[in-house]
Structure 1
Amino acid sequence: MEKNAINPWTWSAARSYSQAVEVKNVAGTLYVSGQTAINEHGISSDADMKTQLVESIANLEKVVLTAGYELKNIVRLNIYTTSTADLFQHFELLQQWINKHEIQQASTVLEVKGLFETLTVELEATVVK
Protein backbone atom coordinates (compact mmCIF):
# COMPACT_ATOMS: atom_id res chain seq x y z
CA MET A 1 0.00 0.00 0.00
CA GLU A 2 1.23 3.47 -0.87
CA LYS A 3 -0.09 6.46 1.06
CA ASN A 4 0.61 10.09 0.19
CA ALA A 5 -0.62 13.10 2.17
CA ILE A 6 -1.49 16.12 0.00
CA ASN A 7 -0.99 19.47 1.75
CA PRO A 8 -0.66 22.54 -0.50
CA TRP A 9 -0.52 24.66 2.67
CA THR A 10 1.66 24.07 5.73
CA TRP A 11 -0.93 25.13 8.34
CA SER A 12 -2.99 21.94 8.22
CA ALA A 13 -0.14 19.91 9.78
CA ALA A 14 -0.40 22.04 12.94
CA ARG A 15 -4.08 21.05 13.10
CA SER A 16 -3.23 17.34 12.75
CA TYR A 17 -4.85 16.59 9.41
CA SER A 18 -4.14 16.57 5.67
CA GLN A 19 -6.06 18.31 2.92
CA ALA A 20 -6.22 15.03 1.02
CA VAL A 21 -4.78 11.52 1.21
CA GLU A 22 -3.94 9.49 -1.90
CA VAL A 23 -3.79 5.71 -1.51
CA LYS A 24 -2.54 3.24 -4.14
CA ASN A 25 -2.15 -0.54 -4.22
CA VAL A 26 -4.60 -1.17 -1.39
CA ALA A 27 -4.98 -4.74 -0.08
CA GLY A 28 -8.11 -3.89 1.92
CA THR A 29 -10.33 -1.03 3.06
CA LEU A 30 -12.13 -0.86 6.40
CA TYR A 31 -15.10 1.50 6.75
CA VAL A 32 -15.64 2.05 10.47
CA SER A 33 -19.05 3.12 11.75
CA GLY A 34 -19.12 6.12 14.04
CA GLN A 35 -17.51 5.16 17.35
CA THR A 36 -18.83 6.78 20.51
CA ALA A 37 -18.58 6.47 24.26
CA ILE A 38 -20.81 3.39 24.47
CA ASN A 39 -19.45 0.71 26.79
CA GLU A 40 -19.19 -3.03 26.16
CA HIS A 41 -22.71 -3.50 27.56
CA GLY A 42 -24.23 -1.03 25.07
CA ILE A 43 -24.74 1.75 27.62
CA SER A 44 -24.20 5.31 26.39
CA SER A 45 -21.99 7.57 28.48
CA ASP A 46 -23.41 10.67 30.11
CA ALA A 47 -19.93 11.94 31.04
CA ASP A 48 -18.39 15.22 29.92
CA MET A 49 -16.91 15.83 26.45
CA LYS A 50 -13.32 15.03 27.50
CA THR A 51 -14.28 11.64 28.93
CA GLN A 52 -16.47 10.79 25.94
CA LEU A 53 -13.68 11.74 23.53
CA VAL A 54 -11.22 9.45 25.31
CA GLU A 55 -13.75 6.59 25.30
CA SER A 56 -14.61 7.16 21.62
CA ILE A 57 -10.92 7.03 20.68
CA ALA A 58 -10.52 3.79 22.65
CA ASN A 59 -13.54 2.23 20.90
CA LEU A 60 -12.23 3.31 17.49
CA GLU A 61 -8.85 1.75 18.29
CA LYS A 62 -10.51 -1.50 19.35
CA VAL A 63 -12.49 -1.84 16.13
CA VAL A 64 -9.51 -1.02 13.88
CA LEU A 65 -7.11 -3.36 15.69
CA THR A 66 -9.67 -6.18 15.98
CA ALA A 67 -10.11 -6.02 12.19
CA GLY A 68 -6.36 -6.47 11.74
CA TYR A 69 -5.62 -2.95 10.51
CA GLU A 70 -3.11 -0.41 11.82
CA LEU A 71 -4.06 2.95 13.33
CA LYS A 72 -1.41 4.72 11.25
CA ASN A 73 -3.36 3.69 8.14
CA ILE A 74 -6.46 5.71 8.99
CA VAL A 75 -6.95 7.86 5.89
CA ARG A 76 -10.25 9.54 6.76
CA LEU A 77 -11.50 10.63 10.18
CA ASN A 78 -14.81 12.45 10.45
CA ILE A 79 -15.74 13.95 13.80
CA TYR A 80 -19.33 14.66 14.74
CA THR A 81 -20.06 16.61 17.90
CA THR A 82 -22.97 18.30 19.61
CA SER A 83 -20.65 21.18 20.57
CA THR A 84 -17.58 22.25 18.64
CA ALA A 85 -16.79 24.69 21.46
CA ASP A 86 -16.60 21.84 24.00
CA LEU A 87 -14.75 19.57 21.57
CA PHE A 88 -12.08 22.16 20.76
CA GLN A 89 -11.38 22.67 24.48
CA HIS A 90 -10.10 19.07 24.47
CA PHE A 91 -8.94 18.80 20.86
CA GLU A 92 -5.31 18.38 21.95
CA LEU A 93 -6.24 14.88 23.17
CA LEU A 94 -7.23 13.91 19.65
CA GLN A 95 -4.19 15.63 18.14
CA GLN A 96 -1.84 13.83 20.56
CA TRP A 97 -3.43 10.49 19.62
CA ILE A 98 -3.10 11.27 15.90
CA ASN A 99 0.55 12.27 16.31
CA LYS A 100 1.37 9.28 18.55
CA HIS A 101 0.18 6.85 15.88
CA GLU A 102 1.60 8.88 12.96
CA ILE A 103 -1.81 9.11 11.35
CA GLN A 104 -2.10 11.31 8.25
CA GLN A 105 -5.77 11.63 7.47
CA ALA A 106 -8.28 13.82 5.74
CA SER A 107 -10.80 15.08 8.31
CA THR A 108 -14.06 16.91 8.67
CA VAL A 109 -15.50 18.24 11.94
CA LEU A 110 -19.26 18.71 12.00
CA GLU A 111 -21.45 20.12 14.74
CA VAL A 112 -24.77 18.31 14.81
CA LYS A 113 -27.99 18.97 16.67
CA GLY A 114 -27.85 15.64 18.45
CA LEU A 115 -26.28 12.21 18.63
CA PHE A 116 -27.67 8.95 20.05
CA GLU A 117 -29.03 9.30 23.59
CA THR A 118 -26.56 11.25 25.77
CA LEU A 119 -23.57 11.13 23.42
CA THR A 120 -21.61 14.27 22.50
CA VAL A 121 -18.89 13.06 20.10
CA GLU A 122 -18.62 10.40 17.38
CA LEU A 123 -15.56 9.34 15.35
CA GLU A 124 -16.02 7.78 11.90
CA ALA A 125 -12.97 6.39 10.06
CA THR A 126 -11.76 4.80 6.86
CA VAL A 127 -8.63 2.62 7.16
CA VAL A 128 -6.56 0.92 4.45
CA LYS A 129 -3.89 -1.78 4.23
Structure 2
Amino acid sequence: METRAINPWKWQDQRNYVQAVEVKAVNGTLYCSGQTAIDADGKSSDADMATQLTQAIANLEHLITEADYDCKNIVRLNVYHTDINAFFDGFHILQDWVVKHGIRQATTVIEVKSLFETLKVELEATVVK
Protein backbone atom coordinates (compact mmCIF):
# COMPACT_ATOMS: atom_id res chain seq x y z
CA MET A 1 0.00 0.00 0.00
CA GLU A 2 1.18 3.48 -0.84
CA THR A 3 -0.27 6.72 0.52
CA ARG A 4 0.35 10.35 -0.35
CA ALA A 5 -0.83 13.32 1.69
CA ILE A 6 -2.00 16.35 -0.26
CA ASN A 7 -1.70 19.66 1.61
CA PRO A 8 -1.90 22.83 -0.45
CA TRP A 9 -1.44 24.80 2.79
CA LYS A 10 0.61 24.39 5.99
CA TRP A 11 -1.87 25.41 8.73
CA GLN A 12 -3.44 21.94 9.07
CA ASP A 13 -0.06 20.53 10.15
CA GLN A 14 -0.53 22.08 13.61
CA ARG A 15 -3.86 20.24 13.90
CA ASN A 16 -2.48 16.82 12.93
CA TYR A 17 -4.49 16.07 9.83
CA VAL A 18 -4.17 16.41 6.07
CA GLN A 19 -6.44 17.93 3.43
CA ALA A 20 -6.55 14.73 1.37
CA VAL A 21 -5.00 11.26 1.27
CA GLU A 22 -4.36 9.37 -1.95
CA VAL A 23 -4.09 5.59 -1.56
CA LYS A 24 -2.62 3.25 -4.19
CA ALA A 25 -2.02 -0.51 -4.30
CA VAL A 26 -4.42 -1.29 -1.47
CA ASN A 27 -4.52 -4.84 -0.10
CA GLY A 28 -7.66 -4.19 1.94
CA THR A 29 -9.93 -1.45 3.23
CA LEU A 30 -11.64 -1.48 6.61
CA TYR A 31 -14.71 0.73 7.04
CA CYS A 32 -15.31 1.12 10.77
CA SER A 33 -18.72 1.92 12.22
CA GLY A 34 -18.75 4.80 14.64
CA GLN A 35 -16.99 3.82 17.86
CA THR A 36 -18.18 5.33 21.12
CA ALA A 37 -17.75 4.96 24.87
CA ILE A 38 -19.69 1.72 25.13
CA ASP A 39 -18.15 -0.97 27.33
CA ALA A 40 -17.68 -4.65 26.45
CA ASP A 41 -21.12 -5.43 27.91
CA GLY A 42 -22.83 -2.85 25.67
CA LYS A 43 -23.40 -0.23 28.39
CA SER A 44 -23.19 3.39 27.24
CA SER A 45 -21.01 5.70 29.31
CA ASP A 46 -22.47 8.72 31.07
CA ALA A 47 -19.01 10.15 31.83
CA ASP A 48 -17.70 13.53 30.67
CA MET A 49 -16.53 14.22 27.10
CA ALA A 50 -12.81 13.65 27.78
CA THR A 51 -13.45 10.30 29.45
CA GLN A 52 -15.77 9.23 26.65
CA LEU A 53 -13.26 10.33 24.00
CA THR A 54 -10.58 8.22 25.67
CA GLN A 55 -12.89 5.17 25.68
CA ALA A 56 -14.02 5.74 22.08
CA ILE A 57 -10.38 5.89 20.97
CA ALA A 58 -9.62 2.67 22.87
CA ASN A 59 -12.63 0.97 21.26
CA LEU A 60 -11.61 2.14 17.78
CA GLU A 61 -8.04 0.99 18.31
CA HIS A 62 -9.28 -2.41 19.58
CA LEU A 63 -11.54 -2.85 16.54
CA ILE A 64 -8.77 -1.93 14.09
CA THR A 65 -6.28 -4.25 15.78
CA GLU A 66 -8.80 -7.10 15.98
CA ALA A 67 -9.33 -6.76 12.21
CA ASP A 68 -5.54 -7.08 11.69
CA TYR A 69 -5.08 -3.50 10.53
CA ASP A 70 -2.85 -0.74 11.95
CA CYS A 71 -4.01 2.58 13.38
CA LYS A 72 -1.19 4.31 11.50
CA ASN A 73 -3.06 3.45 8.29
CA ILE A 74 -6.24 5.37 9.13
CA VAL A 75 -6.87 7.55 6.07
CA ARG A 76 -10.24 9.03 7.07
CA LEU A 77 -11.51 9.94 10.54
CA ASN A 78 -14.90 11.53 11.13
CA VAL A 79 -15.59 12.83 14.63
CA TYR A 80 -19.12 13.50 15.83
CA HIS A 81 -19.64 15.23 19.17
CA THR A 82 -22.47 16.88 21.10
CA ASP A 83 -20.64 19.88 22.60
CA ILE A 84 -17.96 21.87 20.76
CA ASN A 85 -16.48 23.44 23.90
CA ALA A 86 -16.25 20.18 25.83
CA PHE A 87 -14.81 18.43 22.79
CA PHE A 88 -12.07 21.00 22.23
CA ASP A 89 -11.28 21.05 25.97
CA GLY A 90 -10.24 17.41 25.54
CA PHE A 91 -9.03 17.67 21.93
CA HIS A 92 -5.44 17.05 23.04
CA ILE A 93 -6.47 13.45 23.84
CA LEU A 94 -7.27 12.82 20.19
CA GLN A 95 -4.25 14.81 19.01
CA ASP A 96 -1.88 12.83 21.25
CA TRP A 97 -3.31 9.53 19.96
CA VAL A 98 -2.93 10.62 16.30
CA VAL A 99 0.68 11.67 16.90
CA LYS A 100 1.46 8.48 18.88
CA HIS A 101 0.46 6.32 15.89
CA GLY A 102 1.81 8.63 13.17
CA ILE A 103 -1.64 8.86 11.59
CA ARG A 104 -1.98 11.24 8.60
CA GLN A 105 -5.72 11.27 7.99
CA ALA A 106 -8.34 13.41 6.32
CA THR A 107 -10.68 14.51 9.12
CA THR A 108 -14.10 16.04 9.56
CA VAL A 109 -15.30 17.20 12.99
CA ILE A 110 -19.06 17.70 13.32
CA GLU A 111 -21.23 18.83 16.24
CA VAL A 112 -24.52 16.94 16.36
CA LYS A 113 -27.62 17.46 18.48
CA SER A 114 -27.38 14.06 20.14
CA LEU A 115 -25.89 10.58 19.92
CA PHE A 116 -27.18 7.22 21.17
CA GLU A 117 -28.35 7.23 24.81
CA THR A 118 -25.84 9.19 26.96
CA LEU A 119 -22.99 9.24 24.45
CA LYS A 120 -21.13 12.48 23.68
CA VAL A 121 -18.56 11.53 21.00
CA GLU A 122 -18.28 9.04 18.14
CA LEU A 123 -15.30 8.20 15.90
CA GLU A 124 -15.77 6.76 12.41
CA ALA A 125 -12.68 5.59 10.53
CA THR A 126 -11.51 4.17 7.21
CA VAL A 127 -8.28 2.15 7.39
CA VAL A 128 -6.24 0.64 4.55
CA LYS A 129 -3.45 -1.93 4.19
State the TM-score, normalizing by the size of structure 1: 0.99
Q: Report the counterpart of residue 24 of structure 1 in structure 2.
A: 24
Q: CA separation in 2, counterparts of 1:85 and 1:6?
A: 29
Q: Report the counterpart of residue 99 of structure 1 in structure 2.
A: 99
- Once the two structures are TM-superposed, the CA of residue 84 in structure 1 deviates from its matched residue by 1.3
SS of equivalent to 2:33: strand
TM-align CA RMSD: 0.4
- Once the two structures are TM-superposed, the CA of residue 100 in structure 1 deviates from its matched residue by 0.6
Q: Report the counterpart of residue 114 of structure 2 in structure 1.
A: 114
Q: CA separation in 2, counterparts of 1:45 and 1:103?
A: 26
Q: CA separation in 1, counterparts of 2:103 and 2:88?
A: 19
Q: CA separation in 1, counterparts of 2:44 and 2:97?
A: 22
Are residues 1:9 and 2:9 paired? Answer: yes
After TM superposition, list the pairs within 5 Å mapping 1:53-92 onto structure 2: 53-92=53-92
Structure 1, gaps ≥5 residues long: none
Q: CA separation in 2, counterparts of 1:78 and 1:84?
A: 14
- Give, as a single letter, the amino acid of the residue that structure 2 aligns with 1:11: W
Number of equivalenced pairs: 129
After TM superposition, list the pairs within 5 Å mapping 1:26-45 onto structure 2: 26-45=26-45
Structure 2, gaps ≥5 residues long: none
State the TM-score, normalizing by the size of structure 2: 0.99
Note the alpha carbon deviations across 1:10-52, whole angstroms, 9 max, x for none: 1101011100000000000000000000000000000000100
Identity value in percent: 64
